[in-house]
Structure 1
């Protein structure tokens, strides 16, 4: 009997394991496929996409390489791991593209074109695969995506030198085209300009690398741009400089000056190329394009529709409006153009985050957007030079956005009942007329709540809780102690979002200094002055900086709390921002007395450690002015 029981048990075990073995093997194969495709094949395909035009024979071969090395592997891995679909379609940039693509496909029902509608309908899929490929690479390892782009930019610089050597050896007085599948000076300039914008952005955003490296790689690309004789990329690079300066980069002002120097040099060296053509009939062409767009203003003529523009004095007809946005308006109408602009707006707003990688990506998008104002019309095509203006920058931004969101703390949507349960047994640290603002929960974590008081608010697309988490993470990367965020919460019915975090150990400077003697406080204020100078040199503009938001840690260092209202730039703070920081600190009488009256010399001595004596002297003068203004 016992032997029979053991035999039955053995049979059951063997049967259950025989069914689980295929499942285990399938899971193992899926992991291997994901690791191979995302970790190797897609990266190689991405580099090929970025550099292929320099070395393949024609654009047909270039397109086939994209299908083989990026589109097909991406589709396979997405079928093997459906969670990639969910991550991708939750990205606002991708969602905006899909809505625009749906409208584009709908427009095929009224378009008048000689192209096969089924061929046109495939093109949004090609672009979607580009979004997906970049996102998968970034989700596996964001640094690999950035390194792949850098390798491609280095190869592009080498290709520019090769193209220049060939062009100069011919000495035929024409305009440079380049190597490989590049066949037109104007289209070649799109590609050279893209990589030039990349190296400009690297020079502005990379704090760790040597500053001479981007300049060295950008030089042959700028020379190639000038040799193509195209004015569009020079204008676009100027717009990139202005954009980066607006993001808070003082170095970008040097770029603006450098671009002006390059343009003037181009006019002096090749005035025949840059001046003879004038405006190239652009105003007349755009006027005619707008007239034809007004025939079907809302829905457009349909995707793939063909146009003929007759310009008086030109002597020939044109089929290209030489403006991407006008091309969208002509084919997709006001509805399509609105969706197009919304997609770009979402991408650029996402790049307002102070992450260096997003700022770099924004430079590429701004370059493409500016270049598309005077050139280009084929806004949704198979892979070609136009992708360097539109889809490569946008997919890069979307990939970084998805990757950063996955790395951040999870957002948990709570009901009112779940929220009230969370607050059970909590100690209320701070409250106002609307309710709890800060509470210490039973498990020792802190909950900080943010309430949206207006219907229209920046909190709709940039919740303060997410800003808190992003700023805290960025501070820690810079070596400044900040709270460790574990979770984000949202209660939609109450227009409340919050952040759960582990508090920094220690006490606020305001509480601590009240218990110190004057001599002890003076020593700490000197140390705080050094900390303040360190923040300013790091580019940390903490709008809520006061002694109640600075913690003295057990190891003697300082940390920051309540960090939602903050911006971090890639260069030291400008004088007006330093002055505003001081103004906010001195709003509190007790803080003002300590910092600007009793121990002002200690504060400025500490500040000089990181900022120098000149900045410390300015600090002293500003403190005196602010104190006198409040008396």
Structure 2
């Protein structure tokens, strides 16, 4: 049986067909992230439809990559440093080292896959924008259906597929919404009434889902990022209709939430959760830094076995936890060197936004999407080097999307789109 599977993937016609269908494989994966009845379908699709054939073709040197691309190089440096540093620094057992190595391999394949999938998709931004907004709409709707059917009216909303965690579900839906609205905004001259209805429905339902998830980080990112983009549009484009349109969506969303909770109950539920121990995590990790401030304690190290972990167990009772902050988590795992590489990755995208040939309005919008990613990472996740999880969808995906958007006028990128 295994030989048949291997033969199937190694047939030349199958490999050629896979390369041609990379954009479709990506879009199916994105769809599974919001409507798959079980998260293993989202993960399984990546492993079977992406990772396995990609590994075989990389091994056979049948895929050509632009290794001189600055973002690609920095991403590879981050992965290589995180892996080798952990092997040298961490005193973890081989099971944890094996897990860290697997996470590095999966992230490496993800970056390569996104570098192959996103350029041809950006050749049709109108279609991609509608698909992303549809995913935000379906993901929000599925989350609300699950919320009602499971009788979770007094609990926190979560979704299907990769959206099983309330915070990460909110983050993914918000990123899909932001990217989709940006792409359709660029094609605003050709938008139909159906497109406006899609934007209206996606915005309203996503806001409802975010409010009912009670995730403060994504909600703050929504208010800050959404207000920023609306202000940019209103001031630079005189798009007051859009401002009124968005305001109506937000008011309808708030009204729906109040029907479920009531204002006082909703506010009380938010306040009762306090900081969700995030301040305790951050203070413990920063006040009890790793033995090597430059190199960290290694990605394979179990935080519970560190001085910071002992302090967190004493103050919060948590035996298993992560930093819930990308920068604090990277500092604990990889030290100041790792933080420096991470900032270089983010800075490269930021520099690309400022140097691209575009109007200031478009540049400001892209800056808003970049800032949204950073804000989401301030209260969730702890590393970019991890297995197939929702974290990928609100970190690597929007960053690589932004990077390739800034390079749309690059002739080499045009040739990549044609080759796919």
The one of 398, 402, 405 aligned to 1:397: 402
* Secondary structure, aligned partner of 1:159: helix
The one of 236, 241, 260 aligned to 2:226: 241
* Cα separation, partners in 2 of 1:247 and 1:290, compared to 1, 3 Å: farther
Deviation at 1:165, TM superposition (A): 2.6
Choose between structure 1 and 2: higher helix proportion. Answer: 2
Deviation at 1:178, TM superposition (A): 1.9
Matches of 1:361 and 1:48, distance apart in 2? 25
**1:36 equivalent in alignment to 2:1:** no
**1:371 equivalent in alignment to 2:351:** no
Q: Residue 101 of structure 1 aligns with which residue? A: 79
The one of 132, 138, 151 aligned to 2:112: 132
**1:348 equivalent in alignment to 2:350:** yes
Choose between structure 1 and 2: higher strand proportion. Answer: 1
Q: Is the 8 A contact 2:122 2:128 kept in 1?
A: no
Q: Is the 8 A contact 1:358 1:397 kept in 2?
A: no
Q: Residue 384 of structure 1 aligns with which residue? A: 389
- Summarize the alignment of residues 212-291 of structure 1 with structure 2, pairs less than 5 Å apart: 212-241=197-226, 244=229, 250=235, 254=243, 258=247, 268=263, 270-291=266-287
* Cα separation, partners in 2 of 1:409 and 1:385, compared to 1, 3 Å: closer
1:403-441: CA deviations, max 9, x gaps? 54235899xxxxxxxxxxxxxxxxxxxxxxxxxxxxxxx
The one of 43, 47, 51 aligned to 1:63: 43
Q: Residue 31 of structure 2 aligns with which residue? A: 51
**1:111 equivalent in alignment to 2:90:** yes
- Summarize the alignment of residues 479-558 of structure 1 with structure 2, pairs less than 5 Å apart: none
* Secondary structure, aligned partner of 2:303: coil
1:118-157: CA deviations, max 9, x gaps? 4422433322322322332344463357735642431341
Q: Is the 8 A contact 1:138 1:403 kept in 2?
A: no
* Cα separation, partners in 2 of 1:181 and 1:291, compared to 1, 3 Å: same
Q: Residue 498 of structure 1 aligns with which residue? A: none
* Secondary structure, aligned partner of 1:351: helix
* Cα separation, partners in 2 of 1:145 and 1:390, compared to 1, 3 Å: same
1:163-213: CA deviations, max 9, x gaps? 213323444411112234543322322222222323443465442325453
* Secondary structure, aligned partner of 1:339: helix
Matches of 1:143 and 1:205, distance apart in 2? 13
Matches of 1:71 and 1:36, distance apart in 2? 15
The one of 140, 146, 169 aligned to 1:166: 146
* Cα separation, partners in 2 of 1:223 and 1:104, compared to 1, 3 Å: same
* Cα separation, partners in 2 of 1:80 and 1:141, compared to 1, 3 Å: farther
1:469-501: CA deviations, max 9, x gaps? xxxxxxxxxxxxxxxxxxxxxxxxxxxxxxxxx
* Cα separation, partners in 2 of 1:80 and 1:359, compared to 1, 3 Å: farther
Q: Residue 5 of structure 2 aligns with which residue? A: none
**TM-score, length-scaled by structure 2:** 0.76
Q: Is the 8 A contact 2:303 2:321 kept in 1?
A: yes
Matches of 1:409 and 1:59, distance apart in 2? 35
**1:306 equivalent in alignment to 2:302:** yes
Select the structure with the greater relative contact order (CA < 8 A; seq sep ≥ 6): 2
* Secondary structure, aligned partner of 1:124: helix
- Summarize the alignment of residues 404-483 of structure 1 with structure 2, pairs less than 5 Å apart: 404-406=409-411
* Secondary structure, aligned partner of 1:280: coil
1:257-297: CA deviations, max 9, x gaps? 95997789879361122222233333332111112225421
* Cα separation, partners in 2 of 1:406 and 1:304, compared to 1, 3 Å: farther
Aligned length: 378
Matches of 1:289 and 1:165, distance apart in 2? 38
Matches of 2:369 and 2:29, distance apart in 1? 16
Matches of 1:302 and 1:106, distance apart in 2? 9
Matches of 1:141 and 1:375, distance apart in 2? 28
Q: What is the alpha-carbon root mean square deviation over aligned residues?
A: 3.7
Matches of 1:140 and 1:179, distance apart in 2? 28
Deviation at 1:342, TM superposition (A): 0.8
- Return 5+ residue gaps in structure 1 as ranges: 1-28, 411-631
**1:198 equivalent in alignment to 2:200:** no
The one of 101, 105, 110 aligned to 1:121: 101
Q: Residue 207 of structure 1 aligns with which residue? A: 188
The one of 114, 117, 137 aligned to 1:157: 137
Matches of 1:409 and 1:188, distance apart in 2? 34
1:593-623: CA deviations, max 9, x gaps? xxxxxxxxxxxxxxxxxxxxxxxxxxxxxxx
Name which one, 1 or 2, has greater alpha-carbon Rg.
Answer: 1
